[in-house]
Amino acid sequence: MTIYLVTGGVKSGKSRFAEGLSESLQSEVIYIATSRPKDEEMAQRVIQHREERPAHWGLIEEPLRLAEAIYNAPSTALLLIEDVATWVANLLFAEGLDEDYSPEGRIEFLDKMKQEVDYLLQVLQGRPAVLVTGEVGLGGVAIHPVTRLYQDALGEVNQRLAEVSREVWLVVSGVPTRIKG
């Protein structure tokens, strides 16, 4: 498995960098989008991203079943997955955890995320992939319990992905820095 992980803050330039990295690695790229636009402004962002990508790239849109989308993608293509942070948020909301939850619900969701990442890594075996994610480790601990759960889940997912990645890149203000590999 050859994974390249690209992380950074919102509007840091990580998407642009990940697209360039993907194109430099392989000509056949399948873009797997996890976004579910729920308002007009987000829909416009998705359209803009789509227009900026090379027209010959494939596209799979899957907000929840990321591992299945990877499994069903052509095996010859490099997969550009944008993005892991949105996928984790989608799973959190799909579980109905967008309001208060019990301590047991917290443990169950974190366990589910571990299983999801294990499955994701299983289907990525032998596949080249560039994964984009948001970095949650640069700010303080969130005040709201749901936001804390999201930070904890995404932080664990990111650490697991970084552990198995060939390279990890941090993009800050449009400047990519390789931090692993």
What is the phi-psi region of residue 140: left when phi exceeds 0, alpha when psi lies from -120 to 50, beta otherwise? Answer: beta
The per-residue pLDDT for range 95-127, each reduced to its tens digit, is 887 677 788 888 999 999 999 999 999 999 999
Q: In which band, very low, low, confident or very high, does the pLDDT at 1 lie, cut at 50, 70 and 90?
A: low
Average pLDDT over residues 156-169: 97
C-alpha distance from residue 139 to each of 91, 136, 143, 145, 172 (Å): 22, 7, 12, 15, 14
Burial class (CB in 10 A: 0-12, 13-18, 19+), 74: exposed
pLDDT tens, residue by residue, 10-55: 889 999 999 999 999 999 999 999 998 889 998 898 888 888 888 8
Is 144 annotated in the active site? no
Catalytic residue of the set 49, 106, 114, 127: 49
CA 32 to chain centre: 9
- Kindly give, in sequence order, each residue whose CB lies less than 8 Å from that of residue 87, ignoring residues fewer than 6 positions away: 34, 63, 64, 66, 81
DSSP three-state, residue 34 = coil
Give the residue among 177, 117, 130 at the shortest CA–CA distance from 15: 130
At the fourth CATH level, which superfamily is domain 2-180? P-loop containing nucleotide triphosphate hydrolases (3.40.50.300)
Domain boundaries, the chain: 2-180
